[in-house]
Structure 1
């Protein structure tokens, strides 16, 4: 149920393996029955994992794999809320006499790890005290802190685990109820420091993985495939007594780009596909003949955006990227509506900020800011900022430097690639030369942790509640990648570090929201948060496609059969995989 925002890469499709019922825990009974055991789910992804360690995964190419083996005290419902039992069979929240907040969880008994070792309260305590509290994670532990920066005090009474905050804290069920539990008996000597833990469960150490979730990675061949097999000790049963998951195996076939993923789906080699909107009409025309189910949902929770590096190695570029009017001009030069109509077949919405119009927290006032296509407005903003044009029509800055920079995205994602090409053409009309160089996703992520990039097109996904994006929007957040703090990255020169006034206020909002229980008061903060980002174009948002899903009608997906659509907030970076342990294939 981990919802911290992660870097988005397209990934689609999966499978399973079975084993005999090997033990008798205090079963979690799922709201599902009638599925057939066995079979393999075949999916396609454009990138393999960068790590198999859930606490060091910051990209969906890793998270989409790892999450299948993760387990927490609570699970999430269809709307992404922590309302479902998991390792905890009962739980609650209480206000304490001294004005604090107490979250308690009653652990299920008899649960085992995938190697047969008992999973107990000790594993929860170990994960909390040895990994989260000392901050041996990529994202930091600030998401677990209250508005005053306090972590909760953990106490245990038998199978009851209690987390006590000294203040009001609204996020306890999501945070202390949602962190992935790690096996103490396997990792106790691996969590001595961040560097050692980061090098634990790398992609080369697939044979060392021990999980408690429904599926475990058993094979990874770089550039070829990732194989996950059924955990024979998974503690969840269907209502008719069948031990879950239904599937025996999930196989992610690694393909070069999303066009190849489409071809694999059309050929029947993968079972599920999240089509690009441009491909949707042609694929839908084949659906009846080929036996595909077609799902069209609302706008996706995540969107693609352009990020400019405020800490770029070149000081001249840094000055451009930190200029509000420069970023706003880029926003005005991007013709979102025409792109939606032509490239997306109308199956997308324009984005002006960090939430799409399908979000429960969306502030529609950001649409009134006027960031719609206008080269005239873009030119005016550039002039006001001190830019001008030379006799060759090139944009030059106040010192006469010709404006030219590099743009990257993961080229295997055809939609981002096309957005990049369109952006290059649009900015050329302003006299800006953009050198577009697509690179592989994980290589791009690695570059983002350095000063050696100018601009990228990427996406972020996570829970709908903006409070889950603290790792992105706090100044010292573990994914505040366009403006790394010297506290986070040693290579950032404190004397050159610059913070936008809007970012300072956003940081304040992200800290104070943790103690706000009143929904109206909280929404006012989120409205302000969205306006600050949109007004200043801290990130230049582009377009959000509708959720699109196609899968073989022999594949039964729980959210489709129960709710009539795919889940928009579960694994929002691959909504077809929400509750994949309930999916089954006709044999």
Structure 2
């Protein structure tokens, strides 16, 4: 007993010593017992010192658990989004890029990119993070036909050309193209980023080039996978953060104690950021995701079940949440969103039905659909008149903004809409419903992912005004995967989703959202797929204005001056405004953000955006901390 007491005293003294030496209290016991090295050995050199003064933040203290609510087990990926550790990251406000995980980067003519890693940087399991992790991804994953049948990511190809990849030394890699690739660097800072690296030490035992055949076959059988490639892909998903054993570089890592209704993330002992006093971040020890039905999340937030929440909340919840502040210690802030349109309609120019496809490709029909929407009514009824009405385009805060982009073909004008529909040759029957050229009634099914009652409410308002134009609107909700697959296959006529992600674009921002670029673009999924796969699948662009958009994208990409990039952007925005490829409704909608009264360093006013922004990520939640509960101020509202 005396020996046990003596050992306990020694451990207690060691813990106290490590804590007083600037060690994270949560990790002090593991450091004292030798499970972890001291913080001075865990941090890279140099670590990234977060500029609190520029961000308007205060020094914090360690500890606490931050609770959030999510609706699906797949939402574990939000921890990667919010953690927002990237090779390069966006600053809040101007969204300029800075070296984050990287110590530094150099760019020559937007063709040659040289990346330098931090000395002694380590994965969350303590293994060194080196250029071998970059080499492994490029040679053994991206260019392995079994793991990547389509080849390297599209963002790493310029006119089909892959980069020259070079490992210059243990800390330096270089990617070079013969033509500019201005999308490359920003893609590394996205909410869902382009990953150029993998934890090679962890994944090699699942790779046929490194693992003994018998051992690998046994692993495949035990994991119930069809082959080694399927097993490797299952174990390798840095974005999803659903594998507790996969090392990460994020501030928090998922633990193995997950259930179907709760996920726990604990601090990464080797995280590379520090506060201005050199103390390792994050301040908060762990984050909990509780899974609940989407419809119940606002009520649970209003009952004090979350410390930080915006996901699954909408402006409709604001009044209820403000009233709940009298009963629970939180406050509800309003952050302005930055999408080109909060909700947009996407006529499918690749619809499988040939009659509908030809109609959607007639610009007069797309203009008529837009003119027959009463955006002012939507703004007043749904958003209390606080949103901006107009097209799916850049916002007034963007240096590229022109009022005409926002208003062209976006005013409510039923007379002109009917004139265009008459001009196309879509006659009405005795009930006032128009007919397609083949005689079918013009009954337009608009499909949703079934996740937003707001979309349903908006479509109800559009239904009435479209009916006055002789168009009968029906809605069809489905699950997100089914919804997207139907759009991709051309089975969906018109879909509903949010507009372009970045309404604050500059001349240096990629205009990819406005041109055929990806299968994920709901107005031309097959054209985007054709571009994305280098012509291996999808359909070649057949509409001249869309072809012109693609040409302008190349002009922007290859431009050597900001003036040339701005000129390309200007024509891209003009074509989109005139051609109405997507039908925007309102933008700049206010997003409720619930913040526990104890939680510090969360901005009072901010932009809430997916990309760029990563929602909370750009504000670095690793710098948030729990302080004393401030007294309720009755006049604060």
The interval holding the TM-score normalised by the smaller chain is 0.7 to 0.9
Helix, strand or coil at the partner of 1:388: coil
Preserved contact between residue 312 and residue 453 of structure 1 (Cα < 8 Å): yes
Distance 2:242 2:329 in 1: 39
Q: Aligned to 1:160, which of 172, 186, 208? A: 172
After superposition, what is the alpha-carbon deviation per residue over 1:81-132, rounded to whole angstroms, capped at 9, x for unaligned?
453232221232345xxxx843322210212212222111111233344455
Which one has the largest radius of gyration?
2
SS at structure 1 position matched to 2:276? coil
> For 2:289, what is the secondary structure of its paired residue?
strand
1:497-547 deviations in Å (ceiling 9; x for gaps): 663222111111222212224223222211211221221111111222134
Q: 1:326 to 1:458 in 2, by over 3 A?
A: same
Partner of 1:401: helix, strand, or coil? coil
For the residue of structure 1 that corresponds to 2:568, the secondary structure is helix
1:425 equivalenced with 2:464 (yes/no): yes
Distance 2:340 2:616 in 1: 12
- Return the alpha-carbon distance in structure 2 between the equivalents of residues 355 and 347 of structure 1: 17
Partner of 1:57: none
Q: Deviations over 1:26-56 (max 9, x none)?
A: 222223463222222222334442xxxxxxx
Q: Secondary structure at the match of 1:250?
A: strand
SS at match of 1:206: coil
How many pairs were matched up?
Answer: 551
Distance in structure 2 (CA, Å) of the matches to 1:482 and 1:522: 24
Deviations 1:428-487 (A, max 9, x none): 333323321223334433443333322221125655547766665554524234321374
Deviation for aligned residue 1:171:
4.7
Task: Work out the CA distance in 1 between the residues paired with 2:518 and 2:188.
Answer: 19
Does residue 239 (structure 1) correspond to residue 276 (structure 2)? The answer is yes
Kindly report which structure 2 residues correspond to 1:40-119, keeping only aligned pairs within 5 A, or say none. Answer: 40-49=65-74, 64-68=78-82, 71-79=85-93, 81-94=95-108, 101-119=111-129
The 1-side partners of 2:120 and 2:149 are apart by 29
Question: Is the counterpart of residue 211 in structure 1 residue 236 in structure 2?
Answer: no
For residue 89 of structure 1, give the secondary structure of its aligned residue in structure 2. Answer: strand
Determine the C-alpha separation between the residues in 2 that align with 1:336 and 1:399. Answer: 31
**How far is 1:390 from its partner?**
0.9
Give 1:127's aligned residue. Answer: 137
Query: SS of the residue aligned with 1:482?
Result: coil
Aligned to 2:421: 382
What is the distance in 2 between the residues matched to 1:160 and 1:326?
Answer: 54
1:322 to 330, 339, 361: 361
Structure 1 residues 575 and 338: CA distance shift in structure 2, 3 A: farther
Distance 1:174 1:255 in 2: 34
Give the distance between the partners of 1:444 and 1:223, measured in 2 at CA. 24
Are the equivalent residues in 2 in contact too, given 1:92–1:103 (CA < 8 A)? yes
Partner residue of 2:566 out of 498, 502, 523? 523
Task: Indicate conservation of the 8 Å contact 1:246/1:582, yes or no.
Answer: yes
Match of 1:267 among 292, 303, 308: 303
**3-state SS, counterpart of residue 594 of structure 2:** strand
TM-score (norm 2): 0.76
Match runs of 1:128-527 below 5 Å? 128-132=138-142, 136=148, 141-146=153-158, 150-158=161-169, 159-171=171-183, 173-175=185-187, 179-180=194-195, 181-188=197-204, 189=206, 199-201=234-236, 206-218=243-255, 224-257=261-294, 259-274=295-310, 275-284=313-322, 287=325, 290-303=328-341, 304-459=343-498, 462=501, 464-465=504-505, 472=513, 475=516, 477-483=518-524, 484-485=526-527, 487=530, 499-527=542-570
Aligned to 2:50: 30
Q: Which segments of 5 or more consecutive residues in structure 2 lack a partner in the other structure?
A: 1-24, 53-57, 210-227, 629-637
Aligned 8 A contact 2:530 2:540 in 1 = no
TM-aligned CA distance change 1:62 to 1:443, over 3 Å: farther
CA distance in 2, matches of 1:443, 1:347: 33
User: Normalising by the residue count of structure 1, what TM-score does the alignment of the two structures yield?
Assistant: 0.81
* Helix, strand or coil at the partner of 2:128: coil
Query: CA separation in 2, counterparts of 1:493 and 1:28?
Result: 42
CA distance in 2, matches of 1:512, 1:190: 41
Rate the CA distance shift 1:572–1:443 in 2: closer, same or farther, 3 A.
Answer: farther
Query: Residue 243 of structure 2 aligns to a residue in which SS?
Result: helix
Deviation of 1:199 (Å): 4.7
Give the superposed CA RMSD. 3.8
Question: What secondary structure is seen at the aligned counterpart in 1 of 2:369?
Answer: helix
Deviations 1:218-255 (A, max 9, x none): 36979734443322221222223332112222233334
- Look up the SS of the partner of 1:329 in the other structure: helix
1:552-571 correspondence runs (5 A): 552-560=596-604, 564-566=605-607
State how far apart, in whole Å, the 2-side matches of 1:296 and 1:239 are: 29
Q: Structure 1: state its 5+ residue gaps.
A: 1-16, 50-60
Q: Which residue of 2 aligns with 1:533?
A: 576
Q: Assess if the C-alpha contact under 8 Å between 1:44 and 1:252 holds in 2.
A: yes
How has the CA–CA distance of structure 1 residues 271 and 425 changed in structure 2, closer, same or farther, with 3 Å as cutoff?
farther
CA shift in 2, pair 1:88/1:476, >3 Å: closer
Residue range with higher mean Cα deviation, 109-118 or 180-189: 180-189
Residues 298-307 or 525-534, more deviating: 298-307
With over 3 angstroms needed to count, the CA separation of the structure-2 counterparts of 1:474 and 1:196, relative to structure 1, is farther
Q: Deviations over 1:59-85 (max 9, x none)?
A: xx5753433566432222114645323
Contact kept in structure 1, 2:83 and 2:620, CA below 8 Å: no
1:293·1:550 contact (CA, 8 Å) conserved in 2? yes
